[in-house]
Amino acid sequence: MQAEIIAIGDEILIGQTVDTNSVFTAKHLNEMGIKVHLKRVIADQKEDIRFALNTLHPKTKLVFMTGGLGPTKDDITKHTLREYFGGELIFNQAVYDNVVKLFASFGREPKESNKTQAYVPSTCKVVMNDMGTAPGMHFEKDGVHFFSTPGVPYETEHLVRDKILPWVEQNLQPGTIYHKSLLTQGVPESYLAERLAAWEEKLPVEVKLAYLPSPGSVRLRLSGYGTNKEKSKALVEAQLPKMREILGRDVFGEDEDTLPLVLQKLCTKHEITVATSESCTGGNVARLLTEVPGASHYFEGSIVNYSNRVKQEWVGVKPETLKEHGAVSEATIRELAVGARTQFKTDYAVATSGVAGPSGGSPEKPVGTVWIAVASKHRVKAQVFRFGNNRLRNIQRASLMAMDILRREVQKFES
């Protein structure tokens, strides 16, 4: 079953308000196995609302509209829908009783303008709003179901979750969908696609693979579609071992896992300790690691060595190393990692040093050049990366990569 979402509001179009209603609705529709084909944001204009309704995709069976149902003159959605679907505005006593009850709970009485919210199109079925004064409305035309909800997020969430979607599930039997994701770090989307191509071609027709990239990471989401959720789940779960076999340690977790969470579990399991020595990431790796409860079981501490003086005096980098190779170099990053491990007396230490930008680069070391190293009793693993020219993104990508190299080293020698 296919759905469309139409968010109405000038405040959304000018960036004054974030459209959380569409996100909430789309997420819950997806969980029910309903495909959201299109999301639109339109102005509080009669002609824009009519245009959106007249240009629905032919396969759309559900339309969710949010916004424009308030008591003020600029809220024209209800009047436009009345014109579009026909009929007249009629007074609904149950809606008005709900308005009075809601105002009484605040120790107030409704104004005359609030009474207008009890007038609804005669062609709609009222969806009672227990959280606000404007009711939801349900129209049907040519086999398509239209639902209109207020723009206030908690009111829309209540109506969609508690009233509308239960009705859809009971009356329209939309089908099921089951999602499962594997998470990768540090491998480009194109590389993953090439490695998975032969396997992907043999997937059952009910199972689809989606590549969802973010800076430095790619989420591989398997989705099973059908009418039986257990069957869809079984089809998806059967493919996970095959994906893991192909991708190996490039997979760091599943679903809502994060690298800090995975490291917390991994290091705690093997009773190993970790420290960080950070230059270009400015303590961000330590911040991410300590956001996870239980980090104190394995994380000892961090040295943010932004200056060469601190690199020498606190971490033990040799002056001649900095003079000959510079702060952003393999020689320096190795000494930073070894020095941090020595200072903190930990099993592992991870170090970062680079040119975050936007200035400070050179032809030999352009902006985005980052060296990362992990030191342990087994070896010192050092790698160089070229991330780009966006400072904040470089810090984010370097931090994630540092944690991922640490994860791989721990898995290699401790598992």
45-90 pLDDT, tens digit each: 999 999 999 999 999 999 999 998 877 666 789 999 999 999 999 9
How many contiguous H segments (helices) and E segments (strands) does the chain have? 16, 17
* CATH class as words, domain 259-414: alpha beta
Q: Name the residue ranges covered by the structural domains of the chain.
A: 2-172, 176-254, 259-414
Tokens of 94: 């149950």
Question: Across residues 8-34, what is the average pLDDT?
Answer: 92
- Sorted by sequence, the CB contacts under 8 Å of residue 106 that are 6+ apart come out as none
pLDDT tens digit sequence for 155-203:
999 999 999 999 998 898 777 888 999 999 999 999 999 999 999 999 9
Q: Residue 139 above 90 pLDDT?
A: yes
Mean of the per-residue pLDDT values of the chain: 94
User: How confident is the model at residue 73, as a pLDDT?
Assistant: 67
Placement of tokens 């009222």 in the chain: 126
User: How confident is the model at residue 113, as a pLDDT?
Assistant: 78
The whole-angstrom separation of Cα 394 and Cα 361 is: 13
Q: Over pLDDT 70: what percentage of the chain?
A: 99
The whole-angstrom separation of Cα 12 and Cα 359 is: 35
User: How confident is the model at residue 96, as a pLDDT?
Assistant: 94
DSSP string, 296-341: GGTEEEEEE--SHHHIIIII---HHHHHHH-SSSHHHHHHHHHHHH
The whole-angstrom separation of Cα 54 and Cα 245 is: 49
pLDDT tens digit sequence for 284-296:
999 999 999 999 9
Question: Across residues 380-385, what is the average pLDDT?
Answer: 97
Q: Residue 110 above 90 pLDDT?
A: no
Q: Residue 415 above 80 pLDDT?
A: no
Question: Across residues 108-118, what is the average pLDDT?
Answer: 85
Question: What CATH code would you report for 176-254?
Answer: 3.30.70.2860
Instruction: Tell me the Cα Rg of the chain.
Output: 28
User: How confident is the model at residue 116, as a pLDDT?
Assistant: 87
User: How confident is the model at residue 74, as a pLDDT?
Assistant: 65
CB atoms within 10 A of CB 244: 14
pTM: 0.74
The whole-angstrom separation of Cα 341 and Cα 347 is: 7
Query: Selecting from 3.40.980.10, 3.30.2310.20, 3.30.2090.10, 3.30.70.20, what CATH number does the domain 2-172 have?
Result: 3.40.980.10
Q: Is 260 helix (H, G, I), strand (E, B) or coil?
A: helix
CA distances from 96 to 102, 104, 127, 135, 265 (A): 10, 12, 13, 10, 55
Backbone angles phi, psi at 65, to 5 degrees: -110, 135
Asked whether the beta carbons of 275 and 338 are under 8 A apart, the reply is: no
Placement of tokens 């206030």 in the chain: 152
Q: Residue 332 above 70 pLDDT?
A: yes
Q: Residue 30 above 90 pLDDT?
A: no
Angle, CA of 167, 169 and 170, to the nearest 5° = 65
Helix (H) or strand (E) holding 249: none
Q: Residue 345 above 90 pLDDT?
A: yes
Q: Which of 101-115, 251-265, 296-310, 383-397 shows the lowest mean pLDDT across its residues?
A: 101-115
Question: Across residues 339-353, what is the average pLDDT?
Answer: 98
Asked whether the beta carbons of 353 and 371 are under 8 A apart, the reply is: yes
Paired residues of 90 in beta bridges: 120
